[in-house]
């Protein structure tokens, strides 16, 4: 299975850049920080992160689909030339050669992982002690072939207890034509 933001056209079609920023805004500061976007796809949320964080933000954009990363790079060159963004053509479920992060975004990518507990336990190792994990996900537990393993906000809370994260704080939501609602939540290590 490919772990990529394959269906970002749903978020791009039904949401715009300002919707993406609104879902991330409460978790992103303008001070110098290093972030990763895992399963970044075309970069809808990566670009929103860059706009919110400003030019001091350094971003590691990771996706398994090289053509989507190329499109993302084109968008960065047009919107934010000279940004500190590193494009990694990698499977984010495998070990990554990235520095410790102030934050990690997983926007519509965690629902590709069936066994989330070991993945999230390993993911914590990339976060600084005060680092945050920002999840953007469909608020559903009923999967389909495009979103095989969705994670409701309630299920995310239970998952936090099992993986050493503090309870998630919901920071935004957006109606979705696809699975009714998309939410954003931020979590920190215990």
Q: Write down the residue that tokens 């936090």 correspond to.
A: 160
Number of domains composing the chain = 1
Which phi-psi region, left, alpha or beta, contains residue 106 (left: φ > 0; alpha: ψ -120 to 50)? beta
Q: What is the pLDDT of residue 8?
A: 42
Q: What is the pLDDT of residue 7?
A: 36
Q: Do the domain assignments include residue 104?
A: yes
Q: What is the pLDDT of residue 2?
A: 35
Q: Do the domain assignments include residue 73?
A: yes
**Pairwise CA distance, residues 137 & 150, whole Å:** 7
**Pairwise CA distance, residues 41 & 66, whole Å:** 9
Looking up residue 30, the CATH number of its domain turns out to be 3.40.50.150
Q: Do the domain assignments include residue 95?
A: yes
Q: Do the domain assignments include residue 187?
A: no
Q: What is the pLDDT along the chain (190 residues), one digit of tens a residue?
A: 333 343 343 443 467 888 899 999 999 988 899 999 999 999 999 999 999 999 999 999 999 999 999 999 999 999 999 999 999 999 999 999 999 999 999 999 999 899 999 999 999 999 999 999 999 998 988 878 888 888 999 999 999 999 999 999 999 998 876 667 899 999 999 8
Q: Do the domain assignments include residue 2?
A: no
Give the range of the structural domain holding residue 70, as residue numbers without chain letter. 8-181
Q: Do the domain assignments include residue 188?
A: no
């Amino acid at each position: 299975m490919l772990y990529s933001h394959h269906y970002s056209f749903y978020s791009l079609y039904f949401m715009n850049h300002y919707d993406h920023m609104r879902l991330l805004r409460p978790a992103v500061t303008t001070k110098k920080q290093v972030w990763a976007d895992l399963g970044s796809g075309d970069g809808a949320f990566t670009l929103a992160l860059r706009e919110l964080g400003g030019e001091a933000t350094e971003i590691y954009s990771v996706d398994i689909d090289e053509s989507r990363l190329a499109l993302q790079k084109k968008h960065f060159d047009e919107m934010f030339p000279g940004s500190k963004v590193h494009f990694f053509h990698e499977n984010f479920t495998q070990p990554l050669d990235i520095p410790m992060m102030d934050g990690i975004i997983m926007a519509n990518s965690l629902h590709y992982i069936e066994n989330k507990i070991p993945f999230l336990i390993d993911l914590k190792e990339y976060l600084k002690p005060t680092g945050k994990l920002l999840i953007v996900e469909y608020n559903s537990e009923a999967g389909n072939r495009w979103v095989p393993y969705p994670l409701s906000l309630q299920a995310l809370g239970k998952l936090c207890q099992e993986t050493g994260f503090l309870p998630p704080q919901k920071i935004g939501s957006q109606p979705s034509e696809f699975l009714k609602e998309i939410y954003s939540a931020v979590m920190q290590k215990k």
